[in-house]
Amino acid sequence: MLHSIHLPPFSFVSQFNRNSLSSASSFPPSAAFIGSQSSSGSGNLQQQMTRTRRCTTQVSMSATNHGTKECVLEEEALTMMDTSKSFKILPGQAFPLGASEVENGINFAIFSQHASSVTLCLLLPPTGWEDFDTGNEEMVELRLNRSLNKTGDIWHIFIEDLPRSGVLYGYCIDGPQDRRQGHRFDSSIVLIDPYAKYVEGRRLFGDQNYKLSKFLGTYDFEGPSFDWEDDVHPNIPENDLVIYEMNVRAYTADESSGVDADIRGSYLGVIEKIPHLLELGINAVELLPVFEFDEMEFQRRSNPRDHMVILDVVYNHTNEGDDKLPYTTSFRGIDNKVYYMLDEDGKFMNYSGCGNTINCNHPVVMELILDSLRHWVKEYHVDGFRFDLASVLCRGTDGLPLGAPPLVKAIAKDTVLSKCKIIAEPWDCGGLYLVGQFPNWDRWAEWNGKYRDDMRRFMKGDCGMKGSFATRVSGSADLYRVNKRKPYHSINFIIAHDGFTLYDLVSYNFKHNESNGEEGNDGCNDNYSWNCGFEGETTDADIIALRSRQMKNFHLALMISQGTPMMLMGDEYGHTRFGNNNSYGHDNALNNFQWTKLDAKKEDYFRFFSEAVKFRKTHDIFRRENFLEKKDVTWHEDNWSNSESKFLAFTLHSEKREDVYLAFNAHDFFVQVPIPSPPQNKRWFRVVDTNLKSPDDFVAEGVPGIQSTYNVAPYSSILLEAK
């Protein structure tokens, strides 16, 4: 995970997202919310295991104030092939969950309420990753005794003198087979520990030699701890944030990035390109993805999309699918009834659109999520989180909405997480739309989907949108002015990873998803887009100029709006996916940042974007901590009720009398507008006119000579500053 290295302060906000692009290479998860782990061929894994038990462990356990006291009466020696090392086995302890170093060995603990048997599977050195998944590995099974190795619903075991690193491990778990009761146990599959902090499997991204690679958990208690030196959380105030939504792999995967081939598409690649982020002026990066996933998921079986790559890392669902396309790798086989929402017939509830829904507010699942989040903060210095389909977090174990969901409250009140930026995508695929109503305890911010929709509709010239446009740019008080919520709790965005890029928003009326292999049936149909007169690529100079103005209009509106702005990687040069609004599975130029195109736009389009970001950051008038009062804004409008009116002008007033005048014209004709008098002893300077060619479209220091009226061009916007 990136951190705030020794450069001007950044806030790195990790995002758990459903339809994200693919990651760089494997990255250790803090819990087994695995994007995808291939289990193909796992039914034969039992035959590949070598059992080497030669005597039975007998132990007695007596209760103490702190749990159980362990006394070895007769130890079991495990003689491993390729090693003569013997190990002492003890019952172990229930906490902490996962693999932990205790005294002279390793303790393993896993929760499973409904399991009838649990077997710990170990792959020990010198057998390593090179031998793993070749059919030559020799795995040791340790079957846990439910009377000795189980405390409550937690199964545990301690192995003395087990290597402190290099051990791969998983669990085979058996239990009831009644599917109507919600069980999906399959003891033939080696499962990933939900608390595994590292996952071993395919090491090179997209390596076809390991197309059907299996995955196991691992640990490292002897490697040096990472030296964070003097790194501290930047603690950038939320009203000062400018968020850049970035896909780690896609940012530098393209050869045009110019970074060394061995780090393209990696976190190291991102670090190489931080200067671009600084030049753009953003100060917060929202990274996706962050969890381990299987980029070869679509290639496990023949299907229309077996040419693609996918990411699937969230707290609302996992990679394990439903009963139509099951892919058992962890939770499903550990305790399906606990970890997933199920109906009365034991079938998966699907509020995620991905086949299953995590049972977030079950106490055990909730604690796993909290532990995972704390791990990212403590171990990787992550500054905050964006939660995909966060309305799922507001559902009870029966799937019904909760007024005060325990998990959402716990995140807001947690001693560690309460200091982080926490952002909800306040809807899910089951129709629970909570924009402006997400349970928040005055801490949670929200992706403002209404901002996105209203801004798109006004800019493309829909009737009756002027009032909504005014409401959104002034901070969406209709949604967030309640209790102690602030304008910055609205995450304003026009473009995100889902849907069209900004360029495609002004170039396509319809989605073009044929290359996704789903016959165009995937992706959103309601994009509120406008192609400016021609569908797709064109050489028409007038249409090209109009599209450029529209993109600048959108970006200017975003940067002057009260609230927290978020933009998408690549929009600063006009990245296109050629109308594909659901491109998450493509590992190619469709999604990869095109650095040569950035260079081509550096002195024009990129310069405008960068200047707008920096202008916002240097003007408090756009970053108010409180909602606008009457004294803060003058609306130059006496025609609110006219649905045909698509022009809006207003003045934001500054205590320093450095007022800012803004006008947005979504008509297809010029509007000559009277300019109000500037504050006493001040003059108006033109900073922005999106109808002008670069560099006159944005002049940060301002151009004098503004008269009493201004002719605002069709589909353009202006910004004047009083000096």
What the block records as the tokens of 312 is: 């699937």
Distance CA 384, CA 282 (A): 16
In the block, tokens 């990787």 appear at 380
Catalytic residue among 238, 254, 294, 425: 425
First to last CA, the chain: 43
Q: Measured between alpha carbons, how far is residue 121 from residues 131, 173, 188 in Å? A: 16, 10, 12
Distance CA 358, CA 351 (A): 9
3-state secondary structure of 332: helix
Provide the CA 593 distance to its chain's centre, in angstroms.
18
DSSP string, 356-375: --B-TTSHHHHHHHHHHHHH
**Cis upstream peptide for 363 (omega within 30°):** no
- Would residue 388 show up in a list of annotated catalytic residues for this protein? yes
> Of all residues in the chain, what percent are helix, strand and coil, respectively (each to 5)?
25, 20, 55
3-state secondary structure of 600: helix
Closest CA to 201 of 138, 109, 192: 192
Measured on CA atoms in the order 296, 299, 301, 306, is the torsion positive or negative? positive
Catalytic residue among 245, 312, 383, 388: 388
Cα dihedral 679→683→687→690 (10° resolution): 90
3-state secondary structure of 267: helix
List CB contacts of 104: < 8 A, sequence separation 6 or more: 160, 161
- Would residue 644 show up in a list of annotated catalytic residues for this protein? no
Distance CA 622, CA 614 (A): 12
Pairing verdict, β 421-424 and 384-387:
parallel
3-state secondary structure of 524: coil
Helices (H), 144-188: none
Residues involved in catalysis: 388, 425
